Amino acid sequence: MNKIFLLTRWVKFNTVNHCYQFLSMDTKELWQSVLTQIQFDISKANFATWFQNTEIVSIKDDKAIVSVPNAFSKEWLSNKYNKLIAKILHELDDKIRDIEYIIKPQGVKKEPSIEKPNIEQLNFEEFKIDKETNLNPRYSFDGFVVGSFNELAHAAAWAVSENPGLTYNPLFIYGGVGLGKTHLLQAVGNKIALAHKKKKVRYLSSEKFITNIVNAIRNHNIDVFKNTLTQIDVLIIDDVQFLAGKNKTQEEFFHAFNALYEKNKQIILSSDRPPNAIPELEERLRSRFEGGMIADISFPDYETRLVILKNKIQEKRLNLPEDVLDYIASNVKKNIRELEGALNRLLIHSRMNGSLPNLDTAKRLLKSYVFSPFDVANYKKIIESVAKFYNLEEKDLFEVTRKKEIVKPRQIAMFLLRRELKYSFPAIARKFGGKDHTTAIYACRKMGQEFEANNRLTEEINLIKQRIYSG
Amino acid sequence: MKLEILKNNLKTALNIVEKVVGKNISLPILDNVLMSAEDNLLLLTATDLETAIKYWVPCKGIKKGKAVIPVRFLSSFISLLPEEKINIEEKKQNLLVECKEYKTQIQGFNPEDFPLIPEVSDSDQLLIDNKKFCQGLSQIIDIASPSQARPEISGVYLHFSSNSLKIVATDSFRLAEKTLTIENKKECSIILPQKSAREIINTFSDKEGDLKICFSSNQTLFELSMKEFKHPQAQIFSRLIEGEYPNYQDIIPLKFKTNIIIKKEEFLNHLKTASLFSGKVSEIKLNIDPSEKVMEVFAKSPEVGESTSSLEIKASGSPVEMAFNHKFLIDGINNIKSSEVSFSVSEEEGPCILKPIGDESYLYVVMPIKTA
């Protein structure tokens, strides 16, 4: 029964569609011939003013519906030329006896925006963001440089954008700061929004997501919020690691996730670490995050950095000598955002002095990027990064306790102090509140072994290391 | 058409309607004004097909009728006539004007060719204090973006909510917002082209009374009644800009790093002095030191030289050094009426807010120049 019903609807839909197409071809030609004839009866200026951007939208029974660009044209056509148009239309198609004029405002012609490469005067970046989708149109696949470090993530994102909801769901992309996660996420969103006008794409940062939920709870309209979420076709949430510890938000997100997932709606997530390394994330959410495709983005290699630089200088219309580019690419390694920062500094310099920087000037200007104090690991940074990664207070690591959630991070901290800073075991033991140096030896050995054997731990330690070195 | 009219009345009216007329090469009829004589009123109509204005002047009507006359020509001619009663008569599309010893004939066009002004049905309408509205609009209008690259911010945004009207304009480097209290039933918002907004200010700003605003789908009508009797004095009809105005509320910062209060005239003077030295880039530096309660204004250009000046401020927060386009700061301060100005910095390279002291209705957000 159900099937038959569906089938008839399908047939109906198709025939209606067909008719419409047939009609629209016809009306276009019809209006064209009306215009050709009218041209002979009125002056050129009048014709250009009043008939520009007019067309027959549809024909209903004996009535032709003509769209005009503004109210002035409507008044003029319906009062001055109505008889003439009606006569010609009737001659061409004797069924038509009546005309109705409707106003269809023309999308204002946008001048090609010549964006002056004026980086000095800052502007409201938020205005570029699309109000519906929250996406910034600046991010596209075209501007995304692919290298071995992000191949997988890029391929997965591309596949998802080609076929949202059906290939990989959810798509989970993780990697360190400034490596292009947001770019990739937004590029998927932009591509889907462009290709499928009817799909509702929505990009939300975790922070925004949390504030929305908090507001909804405060205003007692959580249902409204849930409803808007479940109507989305492609939901993109950036930096989900910030959901850690926000239990109510996680719960709401869990329900929204399920509702969307069941309807084959695409979900795309990003984080600075894999789902299993996000602390205080409910197990049911974690397993759902892992249920689709997980792809990582790591550090770009030298060649990719060079390509990225070349793309950027083209964008900014700046010419830099090869050796300067080479210098930047081989010395600024931390992340892509840093690369852009270095480039901007040279750009400002060249604008102020009216000359291009040579290698020596570049070296001088980029000192802070190349020899940044962040590049060097130190005791404080290691403790800070470990504590932060496991969502602990720094002082927790020094607490005298054998709680499992403290012991492991503490051992990792010891391990890193030994590995990265070559601290002596007694020194490490002293730092951790006068423990015995054998405790430190045990911790380092244990972690050393597990580091080799346990993939998950390797991943975690690598991510912590990334954070230590990328400030 | 035949009528008698006082020179001054006609002159004022022509001065107002002629501003709407632009240079229109494709349709020369638009360079004209349509004069229609009613019983005791002469109606002048002019349009550029985006904005249209109707203006009524009292006169002694003898015979009804219409004439279409080049408006700039007529206006400059009438202004030269003596301050007397003028006799006007239309004969075969031409206009005969007699005033004391002057006898002239001006060639006109066929009234049938003049564009018809669309009617706005009085579906949704509201009343607003005219003076307040024009004054608010004039504080905002100049900030709208001159470029057509983003049509939606080339106009002035009017948001009518249940008890307030927000007038907003931005060019993406700065943003101005004026809030007026109104009585209103239905929430709605429109983007008014800058030119129409300017026309509204030109036409209505010196007049008392309530302005009636009527909304229809793609256009809006602004109407002011005559003082003496119940008849519209002037109507301005405007096309609206299609599109969605950006979520401007998001860019207004709520947390601040540094807050200062400065005497307005003094601040303005220091800025103007520094601006002379700012060269082509228009960049001036502000160095705010809350602990010393001083602000330093600095500008330098290789062609001119350099200038440093300091002024006393009331301040709280942390010291900050920022650069601005002096024009953007001066534009904001010029629209502030109070004697003291509050200036708040959200963060380095972040938006800053200028506000009058003791007046919450005006807000000016400005972005700095990157200094790194």
Question: What per-residue confidence (pLDDT) applies to A51?
Answer: 87
- Give the three-state DSSP class for A66: strand
Q: How many CB pairs under 8 A join A and B?
A: 103
Give the CB-side neighbour count of residue B235, counting CA atoms within 13 A. 18
Do A275 and A172 touch, CB atoms closer than 8 A?
yes
Mean pLDDT (chain B) is: 91
Judged by a CB distance cut-off of 8 A, whether residue A80 touches chain B is: yes
Phi/psi class of residue B47: alpha, beta or left (left: φ > 0; alpha: ψ in -120 to 50)?
A: beta
Residue whose tokens read 């609009």: B137
CA end-to-end span of chain B: 70
Residue of A nearest to B326 (CA): A121
Question: What per-residue confidence (pLDDT) applies to A308?
Answer: 85
Residue of A nearest to B238 (CA): A71
pLDDT digits (tens, 9 = 90+) for B140-196: 999 998 887 788 889 999 999 888 999 999 998 999 999 999 888 888 899 999 999
Q: Between the CA of residue B75 and those of B8, B91, B140, what are the distances in Å?
A: 11, 19, 30
Do B35 and B66 touch, CB atoms closer than 8 A?
yes
Segment B336-351 mean pLDDT:
92
Question: What per-residue confidence (pLDDT) applies to A406?
Answer: 86
Do B215 and B188 touch, CB atoms closer than 8 A?
yes
Do A168 and A160 touch, CB atoms closer than 8 A?
yes
Judged by a CB distance cut-off of 8 A, whether residue A74 touches chain B is: yes
Tokens of B46: 């002019």
Query: Per-10-residue mean pLDDT for chain A, 471 residues long?
Result: 41 40 65 87 83 86 86 87 87 85 71 50 78 83 84 90 86 87 90 86 88 85 84 90 85 87 90 84 86 86 85 78 84 80 80 76 77 66 86 84 85 86 84 82 86 82 79 56
Of B153, B217, B246, the CB nearest to A131: B246
Judged by a CB distance cut-off of 8 A, whether residue A207 touches chain B is: no
A chain contacts of residue B192, beta-carbon cutoff 8 Å: none
pTM: 0.70
- For residue A156, give the nearest of A300, A299, A271, A295 by alpha carbon: A295
pLDDT digits (tens, 9 = 90+) for B90-119: 999 999 999 988 999 999 999 998 999 888
ipTM of the complex: 0.75
Question: What per-residue confidence (pLDDT) applies to A346?
Answer: 81
Residue whose tokens read 């060097």: A376
Question: What per-residue confidence (pLDDT) applies to A3?
Answer: 42
- For residue A409, give the nearest of A426, A432, A386 by alpha carbon: A386
Of B49, B113, B173, the CB nearest to A121: B173
A chain contacts of residue B148, beta-carbon cutoff 8 Å: 108-111
Question: What per-residue confidence (pLDDT) applies to A45?
Answer: 81
Listing DSSP states for A373-424 in one string gives: GGGS--HHHHHHHHHHHTT--GGGGGSS---HHHHHHHHHHHHHHHHHH---
Do B343 and B353 touch, CB atoms closer than 8 A?
yes
Question: What per-residue confidence (pLDDT) applies to A19?
Answer: 40
B chain contacts of residue A103, beta-carbon cutoff 8 Å: 217-218
Structural domains in chain A plus CATH codes: 2-103 (3.30.300.180), 125-297 (3.40.50.300), 302-371 (1.10.8.60), 375-470 (1.10.1750.10)
Tokens of B299: 């500008």
> CA of B82 to nearest chain A CA: how many angstroms apart?
38
Segment B260-286 mean pLDDT:
91
Tokens of A419: 């590995």
- SS3 annotation, chain B: CEEEEEHHHHHHHHHHHHCCCCCCCCCHHHHEEEEEECCCEEEEEEECCCEEEEEEEECEEEECEEEEEEHHHHHHHHHHCCCCEEEEEEECCEEEEEECCEEEEECCECHHHCCCCCCCCCCEEEEEEHHHHHHHHHHHHHHCCCCCCCHHHCEEEEEECCCEEEEEEECCCEEEEEEEECCCCCCEEEEEEHHHHHHHHHHHCCCCCEEEEEECCCEEEEEEECCCCCCEEEEEEEECCCCCCCCHHHHCCCCCCEEEEEEHHHHHHHHHHHHHCCCCCCEEEEEEECCCCEEEEEEEECCCEEEEEEEECEEEECCEEEEEEHHHHHHHHHCCCCCEEEEEECCCCCCEEEEECCCCCEEEEECCECCC
Structural domains in chain B plus CATH codes: 2-113 (3.10.150.10), 124-249 (3.10.150.10), 253-366 (3.10.150.10)
Residue of A nearest to B220 (CA): A71
Asked if A72's CB is within 8 angstroms of B49's CB, the reply is: yes
Question: What per-residue confidence (pLDDT) applies to A62?
Answer: 84
Question: What per-residue confidence (pLDDT) applies to A5?
Answer: 42
> CA of A110 to nearest chain B CA: how many angstroms apart?
5
pLDDT above 90 (res B329)? yes
Q: Between the CA of residue A362 and those of A312, A320, A342, B31, what are the distances in Å?
A: 17, 10, 9, 60
Question: What per-residue confidence (pLDDT) applies to A455?
Answer: 80
Asked if A124's CB is within 8 angstroms of B172's CB, the reply is: yes
- Mutate: best of A78, A121, A351, A368, partner B, most B CBs <10 A: A121
Question: What per-residue confidence (pLDDT) applies to B89?
Answer: 93
User: A277: how many CB neighbours lie within 10 A of its CB?
Assistant: 20
- Give the three-state DSSP class for A91: helix
B chain contacts of residue A79, beta-carbon cutoff 8 Å: 116
Pairing of strands A293-297, A171-175: parallel
Do A334 and A177 touch, CB atoms closer than 8 A?
no
Judged by a CB distance cut-off of 8 A, whether residue A191 touches chain B is: no
Question: What per-residue confidence (pLDDT) applies to A372?
Answer: 55
Helices A455-470, A437-453: inter-axial angle, 10-degree rounding: 110
